[in-house]
Structure 1
């Protein structure tokens, strides 16, 4: 197993609403890491969903609410870019300190760093896998991330490399001092030297709906279901659920998803949601 590369054992697919990873060998799935990722969004890690496709584990991350950093470089200011970079490194340091997740399993390509255009919150993809990893070790993770950030910084001709490196090379524990210089949206405090703060990040122009539990879950079944807005429901037990409505099926299909793992397939009794008369659907997904 150790001789296998990440690319050979993990297959990736990206759509407008989600990124999915199919594990060719379920032995690399890290159950503890998966459970930890269920409550890490507040720290900047996208929530991971788990499905089965043709008997293989499929990890899914909803991205419909966010934009890849690469597509925003021409739309955000230099100051906002520095704020985004500071958040990226805050997230990486959190993963190091977490103990159950590994930086080696964080995606670092420019199209896998996601930004909420409402407030410039940053979200990264961290895979709950073991034995194999995206980066060989933590040092290579930081080196690869550094190259991506410096390349992105070239989109801002007036930005000095030293300003970016100040964030990249800051020791652990200095996140707070950096964030005092690069303030989040809505801050009106003055800096320690009495000068007014730098311009806070501003949301990009455009209409973006409020975040809801349902919207964060969308995209898991994007090939069969539309991205129609669905309401957020709360059952009698207090647990939240969402309703997905099909668009690319012969007959309309509705699913109420109210648990972390939701199996779909052709045969009732073996799955939570039945999709009949569809050639692309196997017995269990």
Structure 2
């Protein structure tokens, strides 16, 4: 309460505004920030009760954890009628603002950023596909390993700590109990102790939910427990309410 009214306060001292980082940021770090920014916006779009129009996406109101490149946004819970079904106008304005932002920073201009601006300008490329394209730019290509199995990288998006599993074995179990899994995720209590497993068989990667409490999702669709589902390069996997990007060496991000 402040002067008899409810006041919403954001504590941002632990983070840096994007506007302060732009003059000194590298292309790789900026691209990762874009991935995390788009991931955060997609969370709001699919939340069910939040409205993207209430986000303040000015560069001085986008806050970054410089250790992890995680993005934190200011949400203003105001009631403003919107005539923008499906957030089409919001996304168009977002794309235009990001292009202007990139073009305003000399140290970001490069062939890579020109490609990214081209994708941003193409309204037929969804935010999800754009996120996959950007993630492909942040990943270094690696050579396939033993017996024809290409490495799979499983990377957290917008996590409070860096989580990136490089999977080269036929089976890789993921969960929060470090003693029971190969890939431990400890930052999210909603993830089960033994949540899911990634397997490689017959030239294909699969993910299987291991009866987790809060579910496993592939590209926003919840999968049935104990039923392997194929996963591909660029897929977004959600464990409970945390998102992860799948990268497979030699894959096409589309």
Please give the TM-score of this superposition, normalised by the length of structure 2. Answer: 0.47
**Which structure has the higher relative contact order (CA within 8 Å, separation 6+)?**
1
Indicate the structure with greater strand content: 2
Structure of greater Rg: 1
